[in-house]
Amino acid sequence: MIAIANRPHRQASIPRWHRQFLAMLPAIRQHAQLSFHNLPAEARAELVQETVANCLVAYCRLVDRKRVALAFPSALARFAVAQVRSGRRVGCRLNSHDVSSAYAQRKKSFRIERLDHDHLPGGWRAAVVEDHHTPVDEQAAFRIDFTAWLTRLAPRQRRIVRFLAAGNSTSDAARRFRLSASRVSQLRREWHHDWLQFQKTEGTLPQRFPAVSSGIGNRKW
């Protein structure tokens, strides 16, 4: 009996344009990195990948039209960055009703943030999130309204409030901001009263945030 030798599978040849695009990829990535350098690392990495995907789609169109000679990494990258900044994503339609869409956020002038990420010093937002007994909607409402209340204060006062709201003691705040402990206690009472008045003006707000509330008022509100 004669055994039939298995014929090796012929590997599909890689199209020439694949290699050409890969050769341009480092320049495209560098342009995207520079264009989004002012963003946080996570957001920057996502937009760089979106730029690369946009460049690939544009390059494929040029290949189909037999106009590859017009493809330059700088031109592709500039066009892709403009598309990404305008909210256009590969494979996604522009949807002004999708709150997670950058296009919708820019068109309707709003933005979304992570509850577990604190952009401001002091960590008071993280302290709010650690209160697992408070519903998420109340946490979000507190973050918005507490930030609005902070804008009413002078810059130095905001720094002291954030420091206290993060759970630091009166004596720690006195040493850090070169005040007497009695003065810090007095400021806490004033801010507590002002916060309560702000609540009456803006409406009833959640008050179950011990780590934060202890910083600007009594141990329990």
Extents of the domains making up the chain: 16-107, 124-216
Q: Are 88 and 171 a contacting pair, CB within 8 Å? A: no
Burial readout 68-86 (b: 16 or more C-beta within 10 A, e: otherwise): eeebebeebbeebbebbee
Cβ atoms within 10 Å of 164's Cβ, excluding its own: 24
Burial of 45 (0-12, 13-18, 19+ CB in 10 A): middle
pTM exceeding the 0.75 threshold for the entire prediction? no
**Whole-number Å distance between alpha carbons of 112 and 89:** 18
Q: Which value, to the nearest 10 degrees, does the dihedral of the CA atoms of residues 75, 77, 80, 82 take?
A: -80
- pLDDT values of the chain reduced to their tens digit, one per residue, 221 residues: 455 555 555 556 778 888 889 999 999 999 999 999 988 888 889 899 999 999 999 999 888 888 888 888 899 999 999 988 877 777 666 555 566 666 666 666 666 665 445 444 445 555 555 555 667 777 777 777 888 888 888 899 988 988 888 778 888 889 889 889 899 999 998 988 888 888 776 554 444 444 444 455 543 33
Q: Which residue has the tokens 């039209």?
A: 65
Which sign, positive or negative, has the C-alpha torsion 69, 73, 75, 76? positive
Question: Three-state DSSP class for 18?
Answer: helix
Angstrom distances, CA of residue 215 to CA of 134, 167, 180:
18, 6, 16
Nearest to 26, CA basis, from 57, 51, 62, 46: 51
